[in-house]
Each structure stands twice: as structure tokens, then as C-alpha cells.
Amino acid sequence: SRFFPESGHFIFRRAEDIAGSGFHETYLHFDAAPLGFLSIAAHAHADALSFILHVDGKPVLVDPGTFTYHTHKDLRAYFVSTIAHNTVCVNGKNQANQAGPTMWLNHYKAKVVSCDETSGEVVATHNGYDSEGVSHTRKIQFNRDENEFIITDTLRCEKTATIEIPFHLHPNVTALLDGSTVTIDVPGARRVVMVLDEILSYTVRDDGWYSEHFGEKVPTKYLYAKMECKGNVEFVTK
């Protein structure tokens, strides 16, 4: 694993060559970086505290990609939106205000609260929902011995807010949701099991999009939960 707190990028990684089983790799990238390039946050996505997960070189939980810059206005808005990333969306709004296909206003500031590369733990927050009276803090812990991630989201809501939590799946994987457990089969890689917080009621939706290359997009599925909250709420995903 390698942590880069000054730039807000955190790489969790475990790799080993197992006799008879081949090369095994677990890779997670956690994003607590600034919104984008300079004063207009050029080419940014509103993705504070999002993450992606690859297993054995295969993408499992993904960033949506780019698709386009200056055409298909509605789709461009989707691909850069908060709800299209693996983070928490509040009141259906982005963490910043999109001012054009590659421009943003009211930039959020992400802050790394603490990080420990040795123990494999990062805590970060951002102020993108201050106008909604909501703060979001995410802690990611990597238990290397168990090959397990524990993701703890803490929301502090000054007033009632609508919270949406998506986990976007790569188009090649299949996911079976059984109560609060999701079994994800990944072609050419090990199976991934997610244990979702029981205070949230998840469904599998099929109206997501994924763009591996510029100008190309394919539909994909994602895990989705929505809840109303006021005060403090915490939920844990393993």
C-alpha cells in the first residue's frame, strides 16, 4: 500500500503469488483529492471520498469514466456527477456546482483527518454539502490478514436530508443480493462478498453507465440505497 496524503490519493494493495492458485491481487484506490485543475476545477468529477476496487487485475467497483466532454449534455452531467461515483450523495445534488462541461463553481475542500500507511487506515472528510447542513466523513480500513476492507460512513445532518449511497459495478461482473449480503462473481478473478449495513435497504439497479474509452458507453448495474436522516448516522460496509 502507498498513501499520498498531500495529494489526497490512497492506494491499498496486497499482492502475492500463490502456488497452484496463481497471482492474487487486491487493489483499492480512495480519492480524497481536490476537485479539479486550478480555479475552474477543469475536467473534474464531483467524486470526493469515492473509491474503486480491483481484484486479480479485474475491475469490480468502478468509476464511471468520461464518455464525452462537449456533446450529449445530459450524459456528460451524469458521468461527472456525485451519484455516478462510489460515495455519498445528499439531496440529489453534486458536491460542487457544475458550470459547464468542464467547469465547476463552489469547489469543495477535502481534508485528510488521519492516515496510517502501516496499519492501513485513512479518515477523510469534505465540505461539499455545507449548504445542505450535512457533513460526510469516510473511514477506510484494510485488514490485510483477512483481505477485508471496512468502510465506515458518518453523516452529521443539521436538518433532515435525503442520503443516497451507490456502489457501481463493472459491466462484466454479476451480483446477487441476498438480504444485506452481496455476492459478486468476477470472470477470471476471485469472488467478492460485500456485507452491507442493515440500517440501509439496498436494491440492484440497472440504469447506470460505464465508459471504458472516450466516446463509448455501456449500461451497467449498481447497488443503491436511499434514506432520510437527521442528526448523526453511521453505516458500515465490509
Do the Cβ atoms of 69 and 101 come closer than 8 Å? yes
Instruction: Write down the pLDDT at residue 81.
Output: 95
CA–CA dist 24, 45 (Å, integer): 31
Could you tell me the CA-to-CA distances from 169 to 20, 29, 174 in Å, in that order? Answer: 29, 15, 8
CA–CA dist 148, 80 (Å, integer): 29
pLDDT tops 80 at residue 37: no
pLDDT band at 21 (very low <50, low <70, confident <90, very high): confident
Instruction: Write down the pLDDT at residue 18.
Output: 79
pLDDT tops 90 at residue 103: no
pLDDT tops 80 at residue 233: yes
Which of 7-11, 45-49, 104-108 is predicted least confidently?
104-108
Q: How would you class 56 by CB atoms within 10 Å of its CB: exposed for 0-12, middle for 13-18, buried for 19 or more?
A: middle
pLDDT band at 95 (very low <50, low <70, confident <90, very high): very high
Do the Cβ atoms of 98 and 69 come closer than 8 Å? no
Instruction: Write down the pLDDT at residue 97.
Output: 87
DSSP state letters, 6-63: TTTEEEEEEEEEETTTEEEEEEEEEE---SSBGGGTBT----TTEEEEEETTEEEE--
pLDDT band at 39 (very low <50, low <70, confident <90, very high): confident
Do the Cβ atoms of 217 and 75 come closer than 8 Å? yes
pLDDT tops 80 at residue 43: no
pLDDT tops 80 at residue 6: yes
pLDDT tops 90 at residue 89: yes
Mean pLDDT, range 172-183, rounded to an integer: 97
Average pLDDT value for the chain: 94
DSSP state of 130: G
pLDDT tops 80 at residue 93: yes
Which of 56-60, 66-70, 186-190 is predicted least confidently?
66-70
CA–CA dist 86, 63 (Å, integer): 7
CA–CA dist 19, 157 (Å, integer): 50
Q: Taking CA 159 as the corner, what is the angle to CA 154 and CA 161, rounded to the nearest 5 degrees? A: 65
Cα–chain center distance at 75: 19
